[in-house]
Amino acid sequence: MWKKPIILAVFYHDTIYHPGNSRNEEKSAAFARESLARLGANLERVERVCNMILATADHPSPQCGPMTNIFLDLDMTILGSARGEYRAYVEGVRKEHHWFTEGLFKKNRRKFLKKILDGKSIFHTDRFREKYEKRARANIEWELGL
């Protein structure tokens, strides 16, 4: 069970989630660390799980390791979904941040999406790039009205 840190990272990712809180990943990693330690997990693997969770805060460069790259790509697959599913995702994100004025939400969302588009690629691994990159870029451009 403890040999697959990526499975544990998927399980513990966003266990602590409050929309708009910039410390969600940090809190989820701390929860995972405490919970897995109580279960007797190997400390080195626990740290790998926590590092994967923390990486979702800013999706660092692909040099963070193959397992983390796969985990980060899994986190972004919604961007490469079919248009109807992507539209539902965007509507959900808006509802999730309901306290923002429409103008402030659009400004922040646009900034986030432009940062994604300006990167060399959205996905870290060849497999995810081949499967999702083109559609993800098309979805983001659609959302931005480009």
For residue 76, pLDDT beyond 90: yes
Query: In the 8-state DSSP scheme, what is residue 95?
Result: H
Backbone phi, psi, residue 39, to 5°: -85, -5
| Residue that is written with structure tokens 């490469």 in the block | 80
For residue 64, pLDDT beyond 80: no
Helix (H) or strand (E) holding 96: helix 83-96
To the nearest 10°, report the CA torsion of 134, 140, 143, 145.
-80
The rounded mean pLDDT for the chain is 90
**Section 116-126 average pLDDT:** 93
Query: pLDDT of 103-120, one tens digit each?
Result: 999 999 999 899 999 989
Query: In the 8-state DSSP scheme, what is residue 51?
Result: H
Where are the domains positioned within the chain?
A: 1-58, 71-146
Higher per-residue pLDDT: 19 or 36 = 36
Higher per-residue pLDDT: 58 or 3 = 58
Higher per-residue pLDDT: 136 or 5 = 136
| Residue that is written with structure tokens 């007797």 in the block | 40
Max intra-chain CA distance, the chain: 51
Residues in the chain, overall count: 146
Is this structure's pTM higher than 0.75? yes
pLDDT at residue 62 in the model: 59
**Section 57-63 average pLDDT:** 69
Higher per-residue pLDDT: 103 or 57 = 103
CA 126, CA 62: separation in Å to the nearest integer? 11
CA 136, CA 60: separation in Å to the nearest integer? 18
Higher per-residue pLDDT: 2 or 29 = 29
Q: What SS3 state is found at 115?
A: helix
| Percent of the chain with pLDDT strictly greater than 70 | 95
CA 136, CA 117: separation in Å to the nearest integer? 9
Backbone phi, psi, residue 61, to 5°: -60, 160
